[in-house]
Amino acid sequence: MEKQNLLEIRNLKKYFSTPRGELHAVDNVSFDIERGKTIGVVGESGCGKSTLGKTLMRLHDPTSGEVRYKGEDIASMPLSVFKKKYRADIQMIFQDPYASLDPRMNVIQLIEEPVRVNSKDLGKEEIRKKAREMMELVGLAKRLENSYPHELDGGRRQRIGIARALSLNPEFIVCDEPVSALDVSIQAQILNLLQDLQRERGLTYLFITHDMSVVRHISDDIAVMYLGQLIEKCPAGEIFKNTIHPYSRALLSAIPIPNVHEKRERMVLKGELTSPIDPKKCCRFAARCPYATDQCLETEPALREMRPGHFVACHGAEKFLS
């Protein structure tokens, strides 16, 4: 089948005004997301992963840039137009479903809620029927209909979050650390559920995680972020074999994965983390990079395609090609 981009993100910026200056949470990020695929987004805490996800779906208003969804720029249209036209299409699954679930509502009410809000023409019976279908789809037993979130374990609560997101028949879902709060055994169940749903419904995911073994399991493409910027993007298989950016290499060397990077040495990052507030125009990783040159301290590296589909923002990228 021919490749098709569901989203094309161009020069997307999200800055927050703070008392200390402008915080560049997402800074000039450009990439494509292919329909029916999963792009994993990784990077340290505070590098802008959640802000990117929220900005894509207009939970934050972008500072500038474009987010073309099926060719139409959803970043610049009035929020009311976006909500009317696309709110159902683009959904989010959060790390902590508990925080986003009203504790006074039981399971069936929680799943009915988004259906009721978005499909005003449906009657009570139809809404209930739809909610029951969703429960079945995500593997929640019928007997749990009248349970409250605090009575359920983390995995079941996340299933409610997934059912709520899916109830509107979305095409694109931002999954923000959806399994990080779960026990390892339950993580695998939820990841498998997300993958099954993707196959059955042709869903496209932006999957945010700290966990490199999770990202490896679920992604078709991987995007590495550093201080608000996209520094490497490539097919998932490439990044564990042929990682180019020194930061990605450090990030990957910190986790044990058998059979990749056979001679991998653990690289420890030294030096100070550059502030995301009013950053200088240079490579943001330069202060911590063992290979930094004067050029890195003076000019910002652009994202370059070093191999087909493999993009890197590093002045020294040629040196790290294997």
Ligand X SMILES: Nc1ncnc2c1ncn2[C@@H]1O[C@H](COP(=O)(O)OP(=O)(O)OP(=O)(O)O)[C@@H](O)[C@H]1O
State the nearest-atom distance from the C-beta of 79 to ligand X, in Å: 17
User: Between residue 26 and residue 65, which ones bind Mg ion under the rule CB under 5 A?
Assistant: 50
The residues, any chain, with a CB within 8 Å of residue 172's CB and separated by 6 or more, are 6, 7, 33, 69, 89, 90, 91, 203, 204, 205, 206
Question: 51 contacts which partner out of ligand X, Mg ion, none, CB within 5 to 8 A by kind?
Answer: ligand X
User: Among residues 10, 16, 30, 119, which is the contact residue for ligand X, using CB under 6 A?
Assistant: 16
C-beta of 50 vs 187, nearer to Mg ion = 50
Examine residue 48 and tell whether it contacts ligand X (CB under 6 A). yes
Question: 23 contacts which partner out of Mg ion, ligand X, none, CB within 5 to 8 A by kind?
Answer: ligand X
HEC letters along the chain = CCCCEEEEEEEEEEEEEECCEEEEEEEEEEEEEECCCEEEEECCCCCCHHHHHHHHCCCCCCCEEEEEECCEECCCCCHHHHHHHHCCCEEEECCCHHHHCCCCCCHHHHHHHHHHHHCCCCCHHHHHHHHHHHHHHCCCCHHHCCCCHHHCCHHHHHHHHHHHHHCCCCCEEEEECCCCCCCHHHHHHHHHHHHHHHHHHCCEEEEECCCHHHHHHHCCEEEEEECCEEEEEEEHHHHHHCCCCHHHHHHHHCCCCCCCCCCCCCCCCCCCCCCCECCCCCCCCHHHCCCCCHHHHHCCCCCEEEECCEEECCCCHHHHCC
Examine residue 51 and tell whether it contacts ligand X (CB under 6 A). yes
User: Between residue 64 and residue 103, which ones bind Mg ion under the rule CB under 5 A?
Assistant: none
User: Among residues 36, 149, 246, 276, which is the contact residue for ligand X, using CB under 6 A?
Assistant: 276
Examine residue 209 and tell whether it contacts Mg ion (CB under 5 A). no
User: Among residues 10, 32, 35, 46, which is the contact residue for ligand X, using CB under 6 A?
Assistant: 46
Examine residue 279 and tell whether it contacts ligand X (CB under 6 A). no
C-beta of 97 vs 316, nearer to Mg ion = 97
Examine residue 47 and tell whether it contacts ligand X (CB under 6 A). yes
Examine residue 25 and tell whether it contacts ligand X (CB under 6 A). yes
Examine residue 45 and tell whether it contacts ligand X (CB under 6 A). yes
State the nearest-atom distance from the C-beta of 219 to ligand X, in Å: 16
Cβ atoms 41, 223 nearer than 8 A: yes
State the nearest-atom distance from the C-beta of 176 to ligand X, in Å: 7
Cβ atoms 251, 70 nearer than 8 A: no
Question: 48 contacts which partner out of Mg ion, ligand X, none, CB within 5 to 8 A by kind?
Answer: ligand X
Instruction: Tell me, residue by residue from 180 to 209, as one string, x for binding to ligand X by CB under 6 A and - for no binding.
Output: ------------------------------
Binding span for ligand X by CB under 6 A among 30-38, 42-50, 138-146, 306-314: 42-50
Q: In terms of Cα–Cα distance, which of 7, 177, 14 is closest to 90?
A: 7
Cβ atoms 292, 225 nearer than 8 A: no
Binding span for ligand X by CB under 6 A among 17-25, 151-159, 252-260, 291-299: 17-25
> How big is the site for ligand X, counted in residues (CB under 6 A)?
13
Question: 25 contacts which partner out of ligand X, Mg ion, none, CB within 5 to 8 A by kind?
Answer: ligand X
Question: 46 contacts which partner out of Mg ion, ligand X, none, CB within 5 to 8 A by kind?
Answer: ligand X
Q: Note the residues at the interface with Mg ion (CB under 5 A).
A: 50
Q: Note the residues at the interface with ligand X (CB under 6 A).
A: 16, 18, 23, 25, 45-51, 210, 276
